[in-house]
């Protein structure tokens, strides 16, 4: 099992097109992690903003 996997990995590393594909996949993964991190951060900030608005509306009696 491991022999087949190692043989496949070696073949991919020897093939320049496969190496380029792997490099692109790694770069894409890093970009996606950055995007998801930014979205998560902005989502938390937006949630806090809407929570503050809701509290203000409750304070003035606009909502219960």
Instruction: Tell me if 63 sits within 8 A of 54, measured CB to CB.
Output: yes
**Extents of the domains making up the chain:** 24-64
> 33: pLDDT confidence band, cut at 50, 70 and 90?
very high
Question: Tell me, what's the pLDDT at 1?
Answer: 63
pLDDT at 47 over 70: yes
**What is the per-residue burial (b if ≥16 Cβ within 10 Å, else e) of 5-28?**
eeeeeeeeeeeeeeeeeeeeeeee
Q: Is the pLDDT of residue 15 over 80?
A: no
User: Could you tell me the pTM of the whole model?
Assistant: 0.50
């Amino acid at each position: 099992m491991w022999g087949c996997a190692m043989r496949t990995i070696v073949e991919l590393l020897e093939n320049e097109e496969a190496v380029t594909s792997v490099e692109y996949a790694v770069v894409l993964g890093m970009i996606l992690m950055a995007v998801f991190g930014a979205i998560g951060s902005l989502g938390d900030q937006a949630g806090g903003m809407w929570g503050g608005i809701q509290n203000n509306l409750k304070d003035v009696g606009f909502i219960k």
